Amino acid sequence: ASVPSSFQLEDKVIVVAGAGNPPEEGHGIGAATSLVLARHGAKVISVSNEALNCQTVTDAITAEGNEGMAYQADCTKGDEVQGLVDAVMAKYGKVDVVINAGIHSALPMGFAKMTEEAWGKGIDLNLNAHFQLIHKFMPVFLDQQKGNIIHFTTIAGTVGLGLGQQRHAYAAGKSGAATLTKRIGVEHSKQNIRGNVIGIGYTTGPLVDRAVAQAVRNGANTTLEKVTAARDANVPRGYQILPEEIANVAAFLSSDLSSAINSAEVFADCGSSVCTFGP
């Protein structure tokens, strides 16, 4: 059921791209964001390239007595994003906030192993998909003379993570999308359109579990327990962020209470980005 909300999201229509997890998994950041926004009264459209995944999130929303809609779309494809826009407008007649929580290719494979295919896919999913979302929803925002774009980025792109093999396509794509979001916020501020970025630190969730499992399949000598311990050690408070904690930041930025925040990066990393680790 809805909770008493100080975020004032009642009746806001919010699209969350990258909001889907298979039924057998726990909720990642995107799914948690959809659930939290709905609990605060928003009408939430959960988008995933897998129909079952976004429907699973929407079922969880409606099971709590809140309003949600599932939509399958590959956000790298403009025609599919336009279909999303049309479907949301047909049902609700407006869009208040577009959140891009999508992510791909976060494994630290290093530059020497980077192929053109891996680079292209990482940029396509982490940057081009965000362009398509902004490009297709912008006419709606301009017509309304109001809109709000929130991009989930990573401190891997802002300050980097570690000294070893890097996440080049992931970091470059996310950084590019973050810059695009902030520049859109500057250009269209007079049309009451904001663009903000959440810089996310070490966070638990099924994405990490899947990445570790893939690394083990690729021959890495590690375990989920080892990776979890290493990630926990890089968070000043001693343990990783929960997806719901990121979702709470998104709820605030989605609200009119954050109206003075535009073209900014809000760090939700428990301080990791301002620390160096070592003797």
Average pLDDT of every residue of the chain = 89
- Closest by CA to 27, choosing from 53, 51, 66, is 53
Helix (H) or strand (E) holding 173: helix 168-187
Q: Domain spans of the chain?
A: 13-204+242-269
Looking at per-residue confidence, does 204 or 30 come out higher?
30
115-132, pLDDT tens digit by residue? 888 888 888 898 999 999
Q: How far is 264 from 51, CA to CA, in rounded Å?
A: 32
CA quadruple 17, 18, 21, 22: dihedral, nearest 10: 90
Residue 32 in this model has a pLDDT that exceeds 50: yes
Please tell me the predicted confidence (pLDDT) of residue 279: 46
Please tell me the predicted confidence (pLDDT) of residue 61: 98
Please tell me the predicted confidence (pLDDT) of residue 5: 58
Which residues have C-beta within 8 Å of that of residue 136, sequence separation ≥ 6? 78, 81, 82, 84, 85
Left, alpha or beta for 131 (phi > 0: left; psi -120 to 50: alpha)? alpha
Q: Averaged over 134-141, what is the pLDDT? A: 98
Beta bridge partners of residue 99, listed in sequence order: 16, 150
Residue 40 in this model has a pLDDT that exceeds 90: yes
Q: Averaged over 177-186, what is the pLDDT? A: 96
**Amino acid letter at 73?**
A
Residue 159 pLDDT level (bands cut at 50, 70, 90): low
For the purposes of burial, counting CB atoms within 10 Å of the CB of 66, is it exposed (0-12), middle (13-18) or buried (19 or more)?
buried
Which residues have C-beta within 8 Å of that of residue 227, sequence separation ≥ 6? 208, 212
Residue 216 in this model has a pLDDT that exceeds 80: no
Residue 106 pLDDT level (bands cut at 50, 70, 90): low
| N-term to C-term CA, the chain | 48
Q: Which CATH class is domain 13-204+242-269?
A: alpha beta
Q: How far is 70 from 259, CA to CA, in rounded Å?
A: 28
3 state SS of 68: strand
CA distances from 102 to 33, 41, 76, 174, 218 (A): 12, 23, 11, 10, 24
Residue 182 pLDDT level (bands cut at 50, 70, 90): very high
CB atoms within 10 A of CB 64: 13
Q: How far is 150 from 256, CA to CA, in rounded Å?
A: 13
For the purposes of burial, counting CB atoms within 10 Å of the CB of 36, is it exposed (0-12), middle (13-18) or buried (19 or more)?
buried
Residue 72 in this model has a pLDDT that exceeds 80: yes
